[in-house]
Structure 1
Amino acid sequence: MSAIVHPSAVVEKGASLGNEVRVGAFCHIGNDVVVGDGCEFGPHCSVAGPTTIGRDNRFIGHCAIGGEPQDKKFAGERVELVIGDRNTFREFVTVNRGTGTGGGITRVGDDNWLLAYTHVAHDCVVGNQCVFSNNATLAGHVTVGDHVILSGFAGVHQFCRIGAHAFIGMGAFVNGDVPPFVMVAQDGYGRPRGINSEGLKRRGFDATRIAAIKRAYRALYMGGASLDEARAKLAELAADSDDVRALLEFIDNGERPLLR
């Protein structure tokens, strides 16, 4: 079935809509936008290009997708937004394209839920199966791993990384890299507060894996060790745990300070 476009919507000639796409009232789909099969746009959504959207994504209403980066250095160069499959974008979500000096592409993976008023800034990379609660905000150049939860009103500073399975609590402001599996709670700026045990259980992590991650957390955050000393301990623990090895690799590959 071809796309169904509401009479009040505008789809510019340079846009490409897949099969069974639904475009609601008062939407605007701009030039150089490619929309995959089965996507749905509720009322008053806008999509600017260059933007590529995969299949079966839902934009509930008043979303602004693919807008110019909010960066004073942007000079009109060709930059892109790439969105994967089966994502849900709730009311008033904003996702910006990349910048020429930041890699040129903002990416959102698959099966994510971005709830009302969330913002993904230029050059961010969001993984798969994440949940961003209302008003969660990513500044530019942030990288978010898979299965990350950002609670309401959480904010992440530019160039920070959030590791897979991390949980950022309500209202927490993150100004350093958050390792995989770690929970962050509000305390002025966000601070580590244990591991995301409940989330790991829900995703099938058994008791042995969770215990290894807890030992790694204690080595990194609770022993009073320097970062170099903690790295050495993590290297020992990583010999018996792929999860600890992933955590150690995350730390070793960082450019910003680790949140400690």
Structure 2
Amino acid sequence: MKAYIFPGQGAQFSGMGLDLYNNSPLAKELFDKANEILGFEITKIMFEGTAEELKQTKVTQPAIFLHSVILAKTLGEDFKPEMVAGHSLGELSALVANGVLTFEDGLTLVSKRALAMQKACEAQESTMAAVLALDDAIVEEVCASIDGVVVAANYNCPGQLVISGEIAAIDTACEILKEKGAKRALKLPVGGAFHSPLMEPAREELAAAIEATTFSNPICPVYQNVVAKAVTEPTEIKENLRAQLTAPVRWTQSIQQMIADGGTEFIEVGPGKVLQGLMRSIDRNVAASGAEFKS
């Protein structure tokens, strides 16, 4: 079975989407529509912006979403997903790709998500850290033993788990995890504690926007971050998406379940190759490649 996977924050680069804009009338139309919906020229930042400009959450999230979704739409007849999944932000790209959300509604939710997360980050200083080469259960145990907020946030692949929380709690966790044998426990250059209880204000804000949005029947199952299994019922998809901002991204478990359910070919749609790299660490016997636009 053919599975399409969509990247999250961190995959952005200057010049992303420019080839699509220049060579596909459909892509140009959608990018121009996105500028209208967002109320600023995101295309200018995507095509010409500095790394610093692209790093602003209000830009990064819509930019990655647009690159992913528009690339999927330009694949035309070649795009026939039998299962989809997206890493964090990428879940919204996946939901547009499999017909649950319209392009316009998906982009509006992504923009609201980015602004709500930015606000939550500014309200309380917090961060995330990558923990390498340590068993998930040990990381979870250490997080649970620390005073203050620190939780397992992204199960990226075996041996790579990202933790999220208050700065002091993260610092303490990193020291203990290194003592426990982690190869590395390294703070990430992010603005806040994504996928932790500290995102609760953003979750509440986004939940209202999700509730007001129409969710349609999908053309194929989506493997959602929160539950790491196939979901096809719109009300359940909506519920899981509402929970996503404060719940961990169970990416390893999602991919393993997709393989168990018959996924044999995984195609990453969007900027970069992050998910292809994670695929090799999860199961290197499964084919993983990137979607390519053919003008």
TM-score bracket for the superposition, by shorter chain length: under 0.3
Quick one: higher RCO (CA 8 Å, sep 6+), 1 or 2?
2
TM-score when normalising by structure 2: 0.24
Richer in strand (by share): 1
> Highest CA radius of gyration, 1 or 2?
1
Richer in helix (by share): 2
